[in-house]
A = this chain, B = another copy of it.
Amino acid sequence: MLQAQLLQRKTTKVFKAFCDDTRLEILELLQSGEKCACVLLAELEVGQSTLSHHMKILVESGIVHARRDGKWTHYSLDQAGSEDATQLLKSLTTIKTAADKKYEEGCC
């Protein structure tokens, strides 16, 4: 429901950027530098509204930066946002060797 989505963690939003084939293609296109939406549209096999939807997700995740220039919007990889995502991934998957570790073998 609506409420559930609002309560969803920001973290899931970040990683959803990488969970769709079309978005991965977009990221790969942006690896060679900033690109206009119309250029991305020409390279991809999706409709214009679909591209707009994906760009919104990418921008809101912080992975991509949007720069408006007149009628055009130029997109580029956001290095700061990407670094944040990397740190987030690392912290999620790092084992905390806490001093107060206990009950390790107490299963069931």
CB distance from A56 to the nearest CB of B (A): 17
User: How many copies of this chain?
Assistant: 2
Q: Contact: B12 with A21, CB < 8 Å?
A: yes
For the complex, give the distance between the alpha carbons of A74 and B65 in Å.
41
- Chain B hits for A96, CB < 8 A: 31-32
Q: Contact: A72 with B18, CB < 8 Å?
A: no
- Chain B hits for A79, CB < 8 A: 93, 95
Residue of B nearest to A18 (CB): B15
- Chain B hits for A21, CB < 8 A: 8-9, 12
Q: Contact: B93 with A82, CB < 8 Å?
A: yes
Give residues of chain A (17-45) contacting chain B, Cβ–Cβ below 8 Å: 18-21, 24, 27-28, 30-34, 36, 38-39
Enumerate the 3 nearest inter-chain pairs by beta-carbon distance, A residue then B residue, closest first: A82-B93, A15-B18, A36-B107
Q: Can you sample 10 A-B contacts with CB below 8 Å?
A: A9-B24, A12-B19, A12-B21, A15-B15, A18-B89, A32-B98, A74-B107, A85-B89, A86-B86, A86-B93
